[in-house]
Amino acid sequence: MDVNTDLDTLYQELGLDRAVIDYGKKVEEGLKERFAAIDETAEFNQMKVLKAMQEARVSDIHFAATTGYGYNDIGRDTLEDVYAKTFHGESALVRPQLISGTHALHVALSGNLRPGDELLSPVGKPYDTLEEVIGIRDSVGSLKEYGVTYRQVDLLADGSFDYENIRRAINERTKLVTIQRSKGYAERPTLSVSRIGELIAFIKSIRPDVICMVDNCYGEFVERIEPTDVGADMIVGSLIKNPGGGLAPIGGYIVGRQDCIDRASYRLSAPGLGKEVGASLGLNQSFFQGLFLSPTVVAGALKGAIFAANIYECLGFAVRPDGKESRHDIIQAVTFGNPEGVIAFCEGIQAAAPVDSYVTPEPWDMPGYDAPVIMAAGAFVQGSSIELSADGPIKPPYTVFFQGGLTWYHARFGILKSLQKLMEAGIAQLPILC
Ligand SMILES: *Cc1c(COP(=O)(O)O)cnc(C)c1O
């Protein structure tokens, strides 16, 4: 028989050198215990989602498409019930009409803030795209234009909360506190759910009526609990990240307190209409099924992030989080110190993709960024970052941000392919010992 059934041979046909394959095996060998713990969390979260689906009595009638106004869309209403049950909130807004994470955050903020109110971020600068939503960078239609002011308290140098200045920043106009769970592309550490809980408890001890919202992007199902379990009034995220499980082709969610969700819904559709309208257009099945798969997809992405950290740490590059740290999101940063490293890494991720593997990514001047950015994304869904993807601005310290992978095997291959490209470019050399 001359059909190959040997995995290493197949890897070589896919362009990996023997030495890279062997190095990958060696690194993986040391991660068994951590991977087992990730699998246990995934199993827990899988049962959590399943329980919510059973309690909501999900049925195939809920996969039917609605059009137009979308009145009586029981699939949409049941999906929102499943999200509310999964994340332990009173209500949920889960819609294809929420275009992205940024849009969902904008709807949650603008629905719950009124002129004269103040918004506080006690965890430093929010995600880039929110700067224009809030008006930190002047922007047409920002909250600032509507008379909502903004205050920010940075984390202390060691990453802890600056309680003293948070206390000072809270005043009679403070209406809503926004807490970003993931570090995103910032330098600070990602917050664990329990740390978020401590922060919320502190804020509520000063002003119990302040709305605490958590930007939950990239954090869903990484732990057994979510911010709604530790006092968050609203959590917000994107369906082309973790909870869409790679199947949702669009969408965002907001889960939390009934009154907060209702106000957001009046902003998304119109006052008086709220959650009653909004056709699901045949997307419900992929939303249900994506949520169902999400805990295992997130587990694969987490393993990929930890594998990447250990692969590159051992090679002498700075990685954040480091190879040993516990994880609270799926993002991995690797610093190369030169543009060639960032470019070679992204070329490897692109070359490992199921879609557009044959194209070569190049840095370009993206709107909103102050340096050229290179992006690798051979995704089934445009811009999906639960799928294997990487990007990095071409500026010091030349850091690439890596995330996703719909399966652990694919994430693993993508990282080895990035290493292959770095070796071919003469930027990385395999260590003798690790
Ligand atoms: C991705 C992300 C967003 C914005 O989501 P988009 O879907 O890209 O608009 C907001 N906050 C954080 C922390 C994110 O990671």
C-alpha distances out from residue 384 to 19, 25, 130, 229, 243, Å: 31, 28, 19, 27, 12
pLDDT surpassing 70 at residue 368 = no
The average pLDDT across 370-377 equals 90
Ligand 1 centroid–CA 130 distance in Å is 9
C-alpha distances out from residue 166 to 87, 112, 152, 154, 205, Å: 27, 21, 9, 9, 12
Segment 262-286, tens digit of pLDDT: 999 999 999 999 999 999 999 999 9
Got the DSSP string for 245-303? Answer: TTT-SS-EEEEE-HHHHHHHHHHHS-TTTGGG----TT-HHHHHHHHHHHHHHHHHHHH
In this structure, are residues 240 and 218 in contact, taking their beta carbons and an 8 Å threshold?
A: no
Segment 400-433, tens digit of pLDDT: 999 999 999 999 999 999 999 999 999 998 876 6
Segment 308-345, tens digit of pLDDT: 999 999 999 999 999 999 999 999 999 999 999 999 99
Could you give the 3-state DSSP secondary structure of residue 41? helix
Cis ω before 397 (30° cut-off from 0): yes
Euclidean distance between CA atoms 381 and 238, whole angstroms: 13
In this structure, are residues 202 and 177 in contact, taking their beta carbons and an 8 Å threshold?
A: no
Spell out which residues line ligand 1, taking CB within 6 angstroms.
100-102, 127, 129, 180, 182, 184, 215, 217-218, 238
Q: Write the residue with the smallest CA distance to atom 3 of ligand 1.
A: 101
Query: Cα-Cα-Cα-Cα dihedral of 170, 174, 180, 184, to 10°?
Result: -90
Give the number of the atom of ligand 1 that is nearest the alpha carbon of residue 385.
1
What is the enclosing helix (H) or strand (E) of 215?
strand 211-215
Query: Quick one: tokens of 225?
Result: 């609990």
Ligand 1 centroid–CA 213 distance in Å is 14
Query: Quick one: tokens of 91?
Result: 């209500």
Give the mutation target among 129, 250, 332 for probing the ligand 1 site: most ligand atoms within 8 A of CB: 129
Give the number of the atom of ligand 1 that is nearest the alpha carbon of residue 100.
7
Q: What single DSSP character describes residue 38? A: H
Euclidean distance between CA atoms 218 and 237, whole angstroms: 8
Ligand 1 centroid–CA 239 distance in Å is 10
- How high is the pLDDT of residue 223? 98
Going by DSSP bridges, is the β-strand pair 91-95/252-256 parallel, antiparallel, or unpaired? antiparallel
Give the mutation target among 98, 215, 298, 369 for probing the ligand 1 site: most ligand atoms within 8 A of CB: 215
Ligand 1 centroid–CA 101 distance in Å is 5
- How high is the pLDDT of residue 202? 98
Ligand 1 centroid–CA 215 distance in Å is 8
Segment 296-310, tens digit of pLDDT: 999 999 999 999 999
Single-letter amino acid, residue 208: P
Please give the order of strands across the beta sheet that includes 373-377.
318-320, 332-335, 399-403, 389-393, 373-377
The confidence band for 246, taking pLDDT boundaries of 50, 70 and 90, is: very high
Could you give the 3-state DSSP secondary structure of residue 333? strand
Euclidean distance between CA atoms 332 and 392, whole angstroms: 12
Find how far residue 275's CA is from the centre of its chain: 25
In this structure, are residues 261 and 225 in contact, taking their beta carbons and an 8 Å threshold?
A: no
Q: Write the residue with the smallest CA distance to atom 8 of ligand 1.
A: 101
Ligand 1 centroid–CA 238 distance in Å is 7
Query: Quick one: tokens of 209?
Result: 């009526």
Euclidean distance between CA atoms 221 and 205, whole angstroms: 28
Euclidean distance between CA atoms 195 and 267, whole angstroms: 30
In this structure, are residues 408 and 299 in contact, taking their beta carbons and an 8 Å threshold?
A: yes
- How high is the pLDDT of residue 431? 77
Pick the closest to residue 216 from 111, 89, 333, 303 (CA basis): 89
Segment 82-114, tens digit of pLDDT: 999 999 999 999 999 999 999 999 999 999 999
Q: At what angle do helices 408-424 and 284-314 cross, to 10 degrees?
A: 40
Segment 136-189, tens digit of pLDDT: 999 999 999 999 999 999 999 999 999 999 999 999 999 999 999 998 878 788
Ligand 1 centroid–CA 434 distance in Å is 35
Euclidean distance between CA atoms 134 and 146, whole angstroms: 10
Q: What single DSSP character describes residue 352? A: T
Give the number of the atom of ligand 1 that is nearest the alpha carbon of residue 180.
13
Euclidean distance between CA atoms 280 and 144, whole angstroms: 32
Give the number of the atom of ligand 1 that is nearest the alpha carbon of residue 130.
10
Segment 63-85, tens digit of pLDDT: 999 999 999 999 999 999 999 99
Ligand 1 centroid–CA 126 distance in Å is 10
In this structure, are residues 259 and 309 in contact, taking their beta carbons and an 8 Å threshold?
A: no
Give the number of the atom of ligand 1 that is nearest the alpha carbon of residue 181.
13
Segment 25-50, tens digit of pLDDT: 999 999 999 999 999 999 999 999 99
- How high is the pLDDT of residue 366? 81
Give the number of the atom of ligand 1 that is nearest the alpha carbon of residue 182.
13
Pick the closest to residue 111 from 213, 216, 6, 4 (CA basis): 213
C-alpha distances out from residue 167 to 139, 163, 180, 207, 233, Å: 29, 6, 18, 10, 19
Ligand 1 centroid–CA 170 distance in Å is 26
Q: How far apart are the first and last CA of the chain?
A: 39
CA atoms within 13 A on the CB side of 199: 32
Ligand 1 centroid–CA 60 distance in Å is 31
